[in-house]
Homo-oligomer: A and B are copies of this chain.
Amino acid sequence: MKSVIEYIEKNHDRYLEELKEFLKIPSISTDASHAQDVKNAAEYVGQQLQKAGMERVEIFPTPGHPIVYGERITNEEKPTVLVYGHYDVQPVDPIELWQSPPFEPTVRDGELYARGAADDKGQMFIHFKSAEAYLECGKQLPVNIKYLIEGEEEIGSPNLNSFIDSHSDLLKADVVMVSDTTMFARGVPSICYGLRGLVYFQIDVSAASTDLHSGSFGGVVANPAFELSTILSTMKDDHGRITIPRFYDDVRDLTDRERQEFARLPFDEEAYKKDIGVKQLSGEHGYTPLERLWTRPTFEINGMLSGFTGEGAKTVLPARAMAKVSLRLVPDQQPETIEDLFEDYVHELAPPFLEVAVTRMHGGKPWVASLDHPALVAAAQAIQKGFGKKPVFQREGGSIPVVATFAEQLDIPSVLFGIGLPDENAHAPNEKLDLGNFYGGIRSSAYFLDELSRTRIR
């Protein structure tokens, strides 16, 4: 390993330059006018994988943006790691808030600023460079490696599941490595071992067939905005508990070990509140903020619209009201079950004079790995070597549906090793990546391949 790590140290500048080239490509997947850029980014990934010594590199077209695949099979007896990442990026608006142009990568104070620096070009790049380092040092890779790099993560990966389904042999592996999350804090290398799932709905309610005058009709016609408010406000009780019957039936309790691990994390509530501009944190009683964020389900109203919302006053009794709502799920809640429970409950709460339509928008399963899983143990050791510090184990409140997909469709566990930082601005102006974490990430990735070669995982 010594020569590999030394090689990595010597090549920092080249890694940075190559990453900058990657970041210059404005591969915004949601914007049709950038379709060629997205394609160019896919080709750049292909070149990088070739450079990293992959024996097979293929760009698979999809109905949307292409999927890049690479592999190098060294020894069928050894474990196989599948690296997942995405080469597409978020839009850049509001562009005027960027201190340097989003697609002109710029280093300031040890941070590389560019759209995609953290999410996800910079993060996945560490796994290209670790493999490359072995081969450039004249060594064989200690394990088999595969890469699955998509270009539609920022638009909900509409073509990924069917690709995984139809390429399950190709993607056969022992562990998935994903670097698309953040560290708990600066200087705190982290492994994320749990994600929340999601169900998302639109609720449309109506009473009268048209908007009415609130004076001439108020008192005999139901107000859909009021009725919808009542339904929504009933969804949580005074203790922040969701009131949907049987909603908590499948919620897995926190283990004592988890509670202890979370309590040890350097969570600064005052700084956190200041950061997001709230006077006071809120949420379900009986749990700490991190417990609520990572291991407890939520009910949120994501949007709400009814009647007159312009300037001034209009005395309308609206015909309709609409809300977008979602529930974050935790293991072992099943999206389909929760969708059924939610929809039944809305209809049960709705008074008979109200027309109610519940539309299921999309969903994703929650996921949690065992802290004792050998792949996680190997990753923890690798990160400790790469960063000189034991990593913490954390969970994440958001959803990465592909992780649940790997678990369910391919029965492969995932290691979520993020080198981003909580203030990386992933979907905002001035996205950045700490270069120290970038180089530490490459080292850790190299160590991980080595650790994995000595791990009995099957």
Give me the interface of A with B, judged by CB distance under 8 Å.
Answer: 30, 90-91, 93-94, 97, 155-156, 182, 196, 198, 200, 202, 207-223, 225-226, 228-230, 232-236, 276-284, 289, 292-293, 296, 298-318, 321-324, 326, 328, 351-353, 355, 361-362, 396-399, 422, 425-429
Contact = CB atoms under 8 A, between A and B. Distances in A.
A10 B292 CA distance: 78
A218 B324 contact: no
A324 B314 contact: yes
User: Among A91, A232, A302, A306, which residue has the most Cβ atoms of chain B within 10 A?
Assistant: A302
Nearest to A305: B309
Contacts of A229: 228-230, 232-233, 301, 304
Given A91-B308, A210-B277, A219-B292, 9 more contacts: A207-B282, A210-B425, A210-B428, A211-B429, A215-B399, A218-B300, A219-B328, A279-B352, A303-B309
B289 A317 contact: no
Contacts of A94: 211
A396 B355 CA distance: 28
Given A213-B426, A300-B226, A311 B280 contact: no
A278 B222 contact: yes
A302 B278 contact: no
Contact of A303 (B212, B222, B316): B316
A289 B220 contact: yes
A70 to B, nearest CB: 28
A409 to B, nearest CB: 22
Nearest to A362: B313
A303 B293 contact: no
| 3 A-B pairs with the lowest CB-CB distances in the bound complex, closest first | A209-B277, A215-B398, A225-B301
A426 to B, nearest CB: 5
Given A155-B312, A226-B300, A303-B307, A215 B198 contact: yes
A307 B312 CA distance: 20
Contact of A301 (B30, B200, B318, B361): B318
A302 B313 CA distance: 8
Contacts of A91: 308, 310, 314
B282 A222 contact: yes
Contacts of A284: 219
B427 A211 contact: yes
26 contacts: A156-B313, A200-B315, A209-B276, A209-B278, A211-B428, A212-B276, A214-B298, A216-B396, A217-B276, A217-B293, A219-B289, A220-B293, A221-B278, A222-B278, A223-B300, A225-B301, A226-B300, A232-B233, A233-B234, A279-B355, A301-B307, A303-B306, A304-B305, A304-B307, A313-B361, A316-B428
Nearest to A211: B428
A317 B405 CA distance: 25
Nearest to A181: B216
A208 B300 CA distance: 14
A309 B230 CA distance: 19
A220 B306 contact: no
A413 B120 CA distance: 70
A317 B292 contact: no
B313 A277 contact: no
Contacts of A277: 208-210
Contacts of A426: 213, 216
Contacts of A399: 215, 315
Contact of A225 (B210, B304, B351): B304
A397 B219 CA distance: 8
A302 B308 contact: yes
User: Among A218, A223, A289, A316, which residue has the most Cβ atoms of chain B within 10 A?
Assistant: A218
A30 B312 CA distance: 6
A396 to B, nearest CB: 7
Contact of A427 (B219, B315, B323): B315
Contacts of A306: 301, 303-305
